[in-house]
Structure 1
Amino acid sequence: MSARTWLRVGLAFLAATQFAVGCWALLFPHSFFSIPWVGMNMPYNAHLMMDYGAMSLATSVVLGVSTFVVQPIMVRTALAVYLVFAVPHLVIHLRLMHHLTPGQRAPLLTALTAAVVIPLVLLALTRSLSSARSPD
Structure 2
Amino acid sequence: MLWILNAIGALVGVWALLLPHEFHASFPGLGFGAWVAADGPFNEHLLRDVGALYLALVGAGIVAALNRRADAGVAVGVAWLVFSVPHLAYHAAHLQGLPPLDAIGQPIALAATIVLAVPLVVPPRSRSNRTASIRTTQPEQETIR
> Please, what TM-score do these two structures have when normalized by structure 2?
0.78
Displaced runs of 4 or more, over 3 A: 133-136
Aligned length: 124
TM-aligned CA deviation for residue 105 of structure 1 = 1.3
Distance 1:45 1:99, change over 3 A: farther
What does residue 121 of structure 2 align with? Answer: 123
Conserved in 2, the CA contact under 8 Å of 1:41 and 1:99?
no
Partners of 1:51 and 1:41 in 2: how far apart? 17
SS of alignment partner, residue 6 of structure 2:
helix
Q: Which has the higher contact order (CA 8 A, sep 6+)?
A: 1
Residue identity opposite 2:60 in structure 1:
V
Q: Which runs of 5+ in 1 are unaligned?
A: 1-9
Aligned residues: percent identity? Answer: 32
Partners of 2:72 and 2:92 in 1: how far apart? 30
Residue identity opposite 1:127 in structure 2:
P
What does residue 58 of structure 1 align with? Answer: 56
SS of alignment partner, residue 37 of structure 1:
coil
Conserved in 1, the CA contact under 8 Å of 2:69 and 2:141?
no
Conserved in 1, the CA contact under 8 Å of 2:69 and 2:142?
no
Encode CA deviations 1:28-86: one digit per residue, 9 max, x unaligned.
Answer: 00111113212225111111111100111111001111111121221111111111101
Q: Which runs of 5+ in 2 are unaligned?
A: 28-33, 128-139
RMSD, aligned CA: 1.8
> Please, what TM-score do these two structures have when normalized by structure 1?
0.83
Relative to its length, the structure with more helix (as a share) is 1
TM-aligned CA deviation for residue 122 of structure 1 = 3.0
